[in-house]
A and B are shown apart, each in its own frame.
Chain A
């Protein structure tokens, strides 16, 4: 079991409030991603759950039990660090088995469990190597092995893929997701990369300056962002925001349209008109950055190739069903 509940969790370092009261309910077996810009407090929140930092207020419940005064090792969680934090003088076997050895398990049981974990992660040929003799991806897997071997209630991942190159990151992303589904263990994953968040998560927590902005499934966040911050943070390229007369016509202070929900027409009047400043042709997609005069710069996305170039005039027609409306304080208006 690994149900984790946060109730009014706060953290401040001196006068600086890092976490300003977080409430969250993470159900057993789900994959939850904390995402937000750097400095938003996502890593701090993870470390509070891990027990590596003490909370300044509020409760952290694991399976219904308040653990704020429980030392990290007794919380039954395991963590994968950004730097992997492997023990450099121990072999892979020693690294994976260290937690079990500290728990005082008999030697043959440790060996059995370490070998099982190594087999899951394709690390068997490397068991007797030192971390410095491994590649980045292999080290990453050792760090994950160290986490799974203890059969924790939940895994905590602190930006584990940020030290890998792009291709390996995509591969490890899939491996981590598959492993988590296979084991059925709760996982909390911190990242600043919204693509990782969207692809891996069952549910995403969007954090901004110490506050939870929204908690929901990836598609909920994409389709019904709760406020301007979430709307701008989730989705790539960024959502277009328009203020002023056009927004007021629709009874909002700001309206937002995603680039993929703008229909692109060669200048024929109607819609929002502008001149293409930059056109990016990726083959699979075409991104147009359009200077729309009083509306500012707008981004439009076309699936497939579109033979338009910088300097061409275009009209952009927003899909009326996909226009997001926000009030003056940035909260979404529904209905």
Chain B
């Protein structure tokens, strides 16, 4: 592996793939950069003109930007909290020897394989519908007024849907980590007089620190760009209550037909994602060091 010849060979063999990936990435990025400096409205074709940083100024000073930034952070934070806080007990339960364990695991994993648009539609029409939904029926059973989820608590409703989709992922990662916990360590703790709760706090939870970090990092990447669930259920509304950055960029480009501002927004989103990543790695990344 480490001889000079094999290094040279490895590099030359890797070059086409790396080159292709580079072009694949650099062309859209360059185009976005270019569009973000243009006045480029689809309603007014032929009027493209260089406007410098005007698009950025417009996007960042839009009151919708701060609102959607806040929604994005609330959405990411809440889904992370829900998936981890529910994922740990679920993983602990699934780690127990129960009859039909494989079947249970398959069922728990299932939501992850449902397409976001499909699961959003199921939640919207079958579960959360204020007249014909399951939750409305349950509420009526107890003589309560059904909640009109997407009007009364729209962001919370979206959070629930997204958390339901990502819970299996968190559970699965945590479960595999639990299965790698040394049995003798638990027995040693038992001999040391640790109760079940102490064993969890002092042995299991520190063991889970690394997989929890992995879950946080990976989920964050995907949760920053949640789109389908919002598009299908609330369309970003009412008002701006469920508009996140991804949805705001979409609305700039394909509702207001302003490609220039949408491109500027896209670049702002890249910067925000990097800022979030920077802080995440600072806060939880040290758990990944061996």
Contacts and interface: CB of A to CB of B under 8 A. Distances in A.
B188 A79 contact: yes
B184 A83 contact: yes
A85 interface: yes
B202 A98 contact: yes
B189 A52 contact: no
Interface in B177-206: 182, 184-185, 187-195, 198, 202-203, 206
Contacts of B202: 87, 90, 98
Contacts of B184: 81-83, 85
A98 B189 contact: yes
A50 B209 CA distance: 30
Contact of B192 (A52, A74, A89, A146): A146
B209 to A, nearest CB: 8
Interface string B86-117: 00000000000000000000000000000000
A137 interface: no
A102 B192 contact: yes
Q: How large is the interface on B (under 10, 10 to 19, 20 to 34, 35 or more residues)?
A: 10 to 19
- Majority secondary structure of chain A interface residues (helix, strand, loop or mixed): loop
A85 B182 contact: yes
A102 B188 contact: no
Q: How large is the interface on A (under 10, 10 to 19, 20 to 34, 35 or more residues)?
A: 20 to 34
B63 to A, nearest CB: 47
Contacts of B189: 87, 98
Nearest to A102: B193
B207 A85 contact: no
B187 A81 contact: yes
Among the interface residues A50, A74, A102, A150, which one has the most CB atoms of the partner chain B within 10 A?
Answer: A102
A87 B209 CA distance: 14
Nearest to A78: B191
Contacts of A74: 193
Contacts of B187: 52, 79, 81, 85
26 contacts: A52-B187, A72-B191, A73-B191, A73-B192, A73-B193, A74-B193, A79-B187, A79-B191, A81-B184, A81-B187, A81-B188, A83-B182, A85-B182, A85-B188, A87-B188, A87-B203, A88-B207, A89-B206, A89-B207, A90-B202, A98-B189, A98-B194, A99-B192, A102-B192, A146-B188, A146-B192
Interface of B: 182, 184-185, 187-195, 198, 202-203, 206-207, 209
Given A86-B188, A98-B189, A99-B191, 18 more contacts: A52-B191, A71-B190, A79-B188, A81-B188, A82-B184, A85-B187, A87-B188, A87-B189, A87-B203, A87-B206, A88-B207, A89-B207, A90-B202, A98-B192, A98-B194, A102-B192, A102-B193, A102-B194
Interface of A: 50, 52, 71-74, 77-79, 81-83, 85-90, 98-99, 102-103, 146, 150
